[in-house]
Amino acid sequence: MPCSSRRHCPMFRSLSHATVVTAAISVAALAPGAAAAQELPRLDVTVFAPPSQSIWLPVLIQQLGLDTKHGFKLEVTAKPSRVAYADFATGADPVCYCSSISAVARFVEQGSQISLLWNIFDYDYYIVTTNSEIKTAKDLAGRTLLADTVTGSWASAAWLLSQSGLDLSSVQIRSTSGRGAAALAELTTGRVDALAANPTETATLLSEGGPDLKAFSIFDKALWARTSDAPAMPSIAFGVWKTWYDEPENAALARRFYAANVEAADYVRQNPAKAAALVAADAQVPEAALNDVFTRFPHLINIRPIADYRSAIAELTQKLLPEAEQLERPLTDEELKLYVSDFRP
Helix 181-188 crosses helix 199-208 at what angle (to 10 degrees)?
A: 60
Per-residue three-class SS string for 253-277: HHHHHHHHHHHHHHHHHHCHHHHHH
Please, which residues have CB within 8 angstroms of residue 30's CB and are 6 or more apart in sequence? none
Segment 151-173 shows an average pLDDT of 88
CATH architecture of the domain 126-218 equals 3-Layer(aba) Sandwich (3.40)
pLDDT digits (tens, 9 = 90+) for 138-148: 999 999 999 98
Q: How many CB atoms lie within 10 A of CB 142?
A: 9
More confident residue, 262 or 38: 262
Give the least confident one: 15-19, 101-105, 228-232, 329-333: 15-19
Segment 252-261 shows an average pLDDT of 98
Q: Is the pLDDT of residue 127 over 90?
A: yes
Segment 124-147 shows an average pLDDT of 95
Segment 125-150 shows an average pLDDT of 94
Q: Is the pLDDT of residue 16 over 80?
A: no
Return the ∠ at Cα 131 (arms to 202 and 158), rounded to 5°. Answer: 55
Say if residues 246 and 330 touch (Cβ distance below 8 Å).
Answer: no
Segment 208-212 shows an average pLDDT of 83
Segment 73-84 shows an average pLDDT of 95
**Homologous superfamily (CATH) for 42-122+232-339:** Periplasmic binding protein-like II (3.40.190.10)
DSSP 3-state of 223: helix
Q: What is the rounded distance in angstroms from the CA atom of residue 316 to the CA atom of residue 66?
A: 34
DSSP per position, 28-67: HHHSHHHHHHSPPPEEEEEEEPTT-GGGHHHHHHHHHTHH
Considering the entire predicted model, what is its pTM? Answer: 0.75
CATH fold match for the domains 42-122+232-339 and 126-218: yes
Q: What is the rounded distance in angstroms from the CA atom of residue 304 to the CA atom of residue 294?
A: 18
The residues facing 43 across adjacent strands are: 74
More confident residue, 243 or 178: 243
- Nearest residue to 145 (alpha-carbon basis) of 164, 162, 122, 129: 129
Q: Where are the domains of the chain?
A: 42-122+232-339, 126-218
The residues facing 195 across adjacent strands are: 128, 146
